[in-house]
Structure 1
Amino acid sequence: MSFTPPPAARAYPLRTARGEFAVVDSPVAVGVEPKGVVVMLPGFTGSKEDFTLLHEPLSARGYRTVAVDGRGQFGSDGPETDESAYAQEELARDVHAQVDAVGAPVHLLGHSCGGQIARAAMLLDHSPFRSLTLMSSGPAQISDSQQQRVKLLRDALAVMSMAKVWEAIQAMGPPEEVGGPAVGIGDADQLRRRWLGTKPAQLRATGHQLCTEPDRVAELAAVPLPFHVLSGTSDDTWPVPLLDDMAVRLHAHRTVVPGAEHSPNADQPLPTARALADFWDGLADTRR
């Protein structure tokens, strides 16, 4: 069974100067004034489908949303074993190619690991972007407990097939940052198919990045664009007080979504979409 895009959304390969990337592209709702375009980057072990429940409410608010599978994620091709292809700067350059193909300027949103890739893209060149939203994505490496889980996953990927690792993940019942599905996005067969479609080198490389990412908040704060830090009320990957502090350092708009954990986009999609659209609407008179 395949993931089904939301009504009016279209799933297709986006052609860019750096290859094709699988996207789900949802237009502005009929009769609604267009306000902008949003490019959304999923997190570690995730895919564009993680944003499924955001497309319709954001469309109704006037935003075209384009959710992207990054290189080696689910529907986008990439090397099986060459981790150098997934260096963070390479992934950041992919983001620029994706935005060029979609049509700049865009609001950029990154969830978890996708937020750190979005940050790297912003630091390369902020000119194609109108704003950056970091969703459940912290200032540096992930928490010690999550680092241990990611290291276990990377070790397993070195000696086991993707199918065998998936079986182990299901037996362990890990959190979503290490492969456990976000609530409300796909059934077991769909999630297994997504896992098997992801390249092991992509997981090993981005897992290493999550465990070693330096704090680049000061660099990002120097970028002359509006920032939004959004999270749930609890998060095992980056503690919420750490996200609060990052928002202060970035002079960012801050949203905490009640009842959500590491994936507000899946846990509480309607309040999350409302907070996102409210932030973007508030920038209408202060475009840079």
Structure 2
Amino acid sequence: MSTPRFLDLPPGVRRTDLPTPFGTVAALSAVPAAGGCELQPAVLVPGYTGSKEDFIALLQTLAQAGRSVTAIDLPGQYESPGLADPLLYTLDGLGAAVAEVVVALDQGPVHLAGHSFGGLVCRDTVLAGQVPLISLTLMSSGPAAVGGARATDARNLAAVLGDRPTGERLREVWTQHLDALARGKGVPDEIYAFLRDRMLANDPYALTRMADTLVSAPDRTLELAATGLPTLVLYGEDDDAWPPEVQAAMAKDLGARRVVVPGATHSPNVEAPETTAGALTAFWNASETPERTA
């Protein structure tokens, strides 16, 4: 679970709702404080149990480079309502939902970046080939299902929610299993309150279905490499989800640019926002060739 650096929206960042065929998608958007959006836009997708707020510390810096930047909650996450059909909480279903966000923004080709589980979702958006994209960033995201402690946590959460999860059951899970963990982070009261409110606002079906997807995702690295889309693999040097060596090997197989963020673990967007924003901007700028943005 990521912890936003702060919750107050910076100047130039606004909360908005995007209507899509999958339902309303909640978003935070930023534009340059001065001047126009001369560069191509970007869309940021959070990980499992995350939200658009995980990118708050990046938005201003990314926008100031001269582009519109939008961070979203996936359907069923935090402020985005859940899907009418729970069976759509799959990588291809959520990837299609991200594609519809690109359509709803109506800003032309975009840079797509996904954190953790969001990277797996964005990969499916790319492979479906339904919307124009300039580049893909896989941020602390691996080639296939997550393993280790992260997989255990996801399986445990799905198990305690049960086969017919409800909001009431989710609240019980928070009280019995997650509250102490959140308090143990030693974060300020307002951050603790946000973490609690965000978890309880999730669609319980989304949590269970996304957990199943996270621990069973196939490796589609070769398919992604075949698209030829410029790709950045960015992760913390001490990532505790997908091991750094696994992400390094994926970057090699993709022929991707690779950035390792010093001192960061699984959320360089939170732990080292300036370094992360600088790497994203440099990669996005380099990817904007005439043939890519036409």
TM > 0.5 between the two?
yes
Q: Distance in 1 between matches of 2:36 and 2:128?
A: 34
Please tell me whether residue 198 in structure 1 is matched to residue 181 in structure 2: no
Shift in Å, 1:287: 4.1
Residue 112 of structure 2 aligns to a residue whose secondary structure is strand
Match of 1:177 in 2: none
**Is residue 234 of structure 2 the alignment partner of residue 226 of structure 1?**
no
Answer yes or no: is the 8 Å Cα contact 1:143–1:236 preserved in 2.
Answer: no
Equivalent residues in 2 for 1:162-241 (5 A)? 162-167=170-175, 168-172=177-181, 187-241=191-245
| Cα displacement (A) at 1:165 | 1.5
CA change 1:14–1:173 in 2 (3 A) is closer
Contact 2:179 2:196 in 1 (8 A): no
Output the amino acid matched with 2:161.
Answer: L
Q: Say whether the 8 Å CA contact 1:44–1:113 is kept in structure 2.
A: yes
1:93 to 96, 113, 116: 96
In structure 1, the partner of 2:148 is 144
Query: In 2, Cα distance between the equivalents of 1:130 and 1:152?
Result: 37
Superposition CA RMSD, Å = 2.4
Larger mean CA deviation between 153-162 and 125-134 belongs to 153-162
Which of residues 102, 105, 113 in structure 2 aligns to 1:102?
105
Between the two proteins, the alignment pairs up a number of residues equal to 281
- Counterpart of 1:4? 8
Amino acid at match of 1:152: N
Report the counterpart of residue 49 of structure 1 in structure 2. 53
State which of 275, 280, 288 in structure 1 corresponds to 2:279: 275
SS in 2 for 1:222: helix
Percent of pairs identical after alignment? 39
Q: Does 1:17 align with 2:25?
A: no
How far, CA to CA, are the matches of 1:79 and 1:96 in structure 2? 15
Q: How big is each residue's C-alpha offset from its partner over 1:135-176, in whole Å with a ceiling of 9 and x where there is no partner? A: 0000011123322221111111117721222231233469xx
In structure 1, stretches of 5+ residues that fail to align are 175-179
Secondary structure of 2:41's aligned partner: strand
Give the Cα–Cα distance (whole angstroms) in 1 for the partners of residues 10 and 270 of structure 2. 14
Q: Is the 8 A contact 1:32 1:60 kept in 2?
A: no
Q: TM-score when scaled to structure 1? A: 0.91
Letter in 1 for 2:195: L
Q: TM-score, normalised by structure 2?
A: 0.89
